Structure 1
Amino acid sequence: MTMQNHTAGPKENRSASKTSRRVHAAGIDGRIDGVTVREADRRLLACTGPDALDTTHFDTVRFPAPEWAEELFAEAAADGSRAYSLYRGSDEVRAALAPVLTDWLGFDVDADQNILLTPGTQAGLFTSLTSLVDPGDDVVLFDPEYLFSERILTFLGANIRNVPILTDGAHPTIDFERLESVLREGPKLIVFSHPNNPTGTVYPQAVLERIAELAVRYDVQVLVDELYSRLVYPGTTFVHLASLPGMRERTVTLLGPSKTESLSGYRLGVVVAPDHVVEVAEDVLAFTSLRAPAYAQNVLKGWLVKDVEWVAERVADLAKIRQFTIAKLSELEWLKMSPQQGTAYLFVDVRALGLPDTEIAEALAREANVLISPGYQFGPGGVGHLRICFARDEEEWRIALGRIVDVLQSLYERATTAAVPVG
């Protein structure tokens, strides 16, 4: 996430609709003391200097997009007839994607019925949730989870039912006792990211099979955000939920090239879903942005095709940065972390400091000149954590990481000193 700075908070904007205020209200559940999550976001930005290292997103200078992306875009942009497409996306691009997605996902994907191209995966998330969720619907959300899943669901008036992710054992899983308890109450939808953002969790096949079995038994739809499905480290098998028995017709899968492939600036997302979902989501897309950027859509003709070896090299580079990041953070004996097998994130537990994660992130912004995502953004299970994105230039990151460790250790020493009784 890249947090945008705005000076007027929601309390100051008297013209804001009640609907828009629901977004700002997200988080008033004891996570943050006296402010909304959006107000806490703004407060953090106010602590950040203009030259701060922003680790809330990937470094697209160190990790640029593949060369073929610019070539395909330029070729399309030179042809004015490609300036417009159907709302669901170019026939040509969807036809090129269908066989590639069929191979990648492990089930038949129809170009006309199952693919919707969106302005980034974020738009795919919004249009899909809007087409599936009504005010008052119960929606299961794994916790912690990508921050905008909660905020969009809150905007839509859903009742969010959190189910904890468990990463402390030998294999990551979820709280199935809690999940089944909620499913007995008849929720409309299950929503989660895989690999998980912010923890990097990649679920073993047995966990996904259990999720699928419960979804079929309780007849519930599932939206799974697989944006990071290509950023999985060697030795780890990734299973697509929709490929499992009974899941193709009840699963919406979100994909896109914005992270692993550094194509964020092209604003491209791909929704693979049953035809009835694509039809409604296309209508939502039509009155929000009409279509994904028409020239940029053509870049998807190279995705999953021209970049297989390129992605393997990128993952190898990130694995090396991940290794030295874990080693450096491990110098803090009081800090807890359970490094997972996907994404370029580490989700570290800093509760030993005895401070709100908002204050810790603000201290890092002021004293280390580094912007880091605090855990409150990712749900109740994120409180007391930090999400650290290590997809950075190696030398720049080594220096910044040293500052981060120094500031965290200083905070720990202040906390422990303050806790020692005097006399």
Structure 2
Amino acid sequence: MPALSRRIGGFTDSVIRRMTRIANAYDAVNLSQGFPDFDPPEALKQALAAVAGGSLHQYAVTWGAPNFRAALARKQSRCMGIPIDPESQVVVTCGSTEAMMAAMLTVCDPGDRIVVFSPFYENYAADAILSGAEPIHVPLRLPDFALDAERLEDAFRLRPKALILCNPSNPSGKVFSRAELETIAFLAGRYDVFVITDEVYEHIVYAPHEHVYFASLPGMFERTLSCGSLSKTYSITGWRLGYLIAPATIVNGARKVHDFLTVGAAAPLQEAAVTALNFADDYYRQLVVDYTTKRDLFLNGLDRLDLRYTRPQGAYYVLVDITEFGADSDLAFCQWLAREVGVAAVPGSSFFREPINHLIRFHFAKRAATLDEALTRLESLRRKAAACHTIK
């Protein structure tokens, strides 16, 4: 038999989604893969039920149903503070995962270089390999994941084609400051580089931090491909509705890539989701209140357990330090944690280019009862770890 493609040997399956399968196998509380255990807004569920009983069950326009694009453009124009044309500057995708892949394939040729901050969401590595791009990893400074401007410019001197910016960040929960974003913008302009943003957590930012859309910075809309999703904002990760916003010249290319990747996002789900895109600003204010409550509940529990972590500024993840447990492998530790303690996390090494093996990622997009149960189970962590000669 002929050999399989060499590119698929460059990455594994998703470690995050693998941990969900492990959580299911051991009936562990799943704080690994970032999806809620609560329902989306009732109005959205009712809209879906109404659409299901109608006749919208065939293809929508390939790059997005017109009413969905119009509602999305209105909402993002208001949030981003820049006018967005739904007819020429929007592509609707099957989740932000496809939006990021389409963005990479639109701007990068095989052999081009692309800057990726470390830690990074694991999909970016696979995206680079699949598009034939070579990542240039720029570490953010621990423990607060601050931007190192000198190291970033060193990366730009290697003449990359694009930079990937996840803000708010998965897995660290970092929110880039305006000053940091202005540094990135200055270098992107100086070295003539595209910026691909992943802003799926745009509405989950904790005071006093604020989210600044990179495309809203002076002169940056022209070189920015803004990728987003409805998954996290409206608790509909299974709907797989994402989008790419960019200037028309870029969108024209992205639409061609999208057309042959997936043809289009689900027509009934786009129709139902218009309801959510028309929510008033009160919805987004309450979203922050709700996630602040969840964050504080979980972090207060980690404090009671005397577990060390980096306080997230946005998104719904927290990186916890497991140095004290002396595990040789964070992956082995997470497998042991799910099996013996009954809580699932993601090994931090899957997010870092550097040899980082002492961090694991929990998420707190769960009901209070679920978080309380996870914290109760974690009370046995040190006792069970002490009983093990080697965690594996």
In structure 1, stretches of 5+ residues that fail to align are: 1-12, 25-36, 419-423
Q: In 2, distance between residues paired with 1:41 and 1:98?
A: 31
**Alpha-carbon contact 2:340-2:384 (below 8 Å) kept:** no
Q: In 2, distance between residues paired with 1:82 and 1:48?
A: 33
Q: Does the alignment pair 1:89 with 2:61?
A: no
Q: Does the alignment pair 1:265 with 2:238?
A: yes
The answer for the alignment partner of 2:202 in structure 1 is: 229
Q: Deviation digits for residues 209-243 of structure 1, max 9, x if unmatched?
A: 11111111111000010000101123322111100
The answer for the alignment partner of 1:248 in structure 2 is: 221
Query: Which 10-residue stretch deviates more, 297-306 or 120-129?
Result: 297-306
User: Pairwise mapping of residues 376-391 of structure 1 onto structure 2 (< 5 A)?
Assistant: 376-381=349-354, 383-391=357-365
Q: Does the alignment pair 1:53 with 2:38?
A: no
Q: Does the alignment pair 1:206 with 2:182?
A: no
Q: In 2, distance between residues paired with 1:405 and 1:192?
A: 36
Q: Number of residue pairs matched?
A: 388
| RMSD of aligned residue pairs (Cα, Å) | 2.6
Q: Does the alignment pair 1:392 with 2:366?
A: yes
TM superposition shift of 1:294: 1.0
Q: Does the alignment pair 1:65 with 2:40?
A: yes
2:27 alignment partner AA: D
TM superposition shift of 1:19: 3.0
Q: Deviation digits for residues 97-148 of structure 1, max 9, x if unmatched?
A: 2222111111121111110101111111111112222222111001101111
Q: In 1, distance between residues paired with 2:382 and 2:231?
A: 31
TM superposition shift of 1:414: 6.3
In structure 2, stretches of 5+ residues that fail to align are: none
The answer for the alignment partner of 1:32 in structure 2 is: none
Change (3 A) 1:337 1:47: closer
1:22 alignment partner AA: G
Q: Deviation digits for residues 355-387 of structure 1, max 9, x if unmatched?
A: 221121011011112221111221225532111
Q: Deviation digits for residues 258-310 of structure 1, max 9, x if unmatched?
A: 01311112210021112222222222221221101111112342334315333
Q: In 2, distance between residues paired with 1:126 and 1:179?
A: 23
2:32 alignment partner AA: T
Q: Deviation digits for residues 387-410 of structure 1, max 9, x if unmatched?
A: 101112212321222323432564
User: Pairwise mapping of residues 230-379 of structure 1 onto structure 2 (< 5 A)?
Assistant: 230-306=203-279, 308-333=281-306, 335-355=307-327, 356-379=329-352
**Alpha-carbon contact 1:48-1:366 (below 8 Å) kept:** no
**Alpha-carbon contact 1:357-1:385 (below 8 Å) kept:** yes
The answer for the alignment partner of 2:380 in structure 1 is: 406
- Normalized against structure 1, the TM-score is what? 0.84
User: Pairwise mapping of residues 109-124 of structure 1 onto structure 2 (< 5 A)?
Assistant: 109-124=84-99
TM superposition shift of 1:17: 2.6
The answer for the alignment partner of 1:192 in structure 2 is: 165
Q: Secondary structure at the match of 1:396?
A: helix
The answer for the alignment partner of 1:17 in structure 2 is: 5
Q: Secondary structure at the match of 2:252?
A: helix
Change (3 A) 1:324 1:101: closer
Change (3 A) 1:53 1:176: same
2:86 alignment partner AA: A
Percent of pairs with identical residues:
30
Q: In 2, distance between residues paired with 1:77 and 1:41?
A: 29
1:193 alignment partner AA: C
**Alpha-carbon contact 2:291-2:365 (below 8 Å) kept:** yes
Q: Secondary structure at the match of 2:11?
A: helix
The answer for the alignment partner of 1:150 in structure 2 is: 125
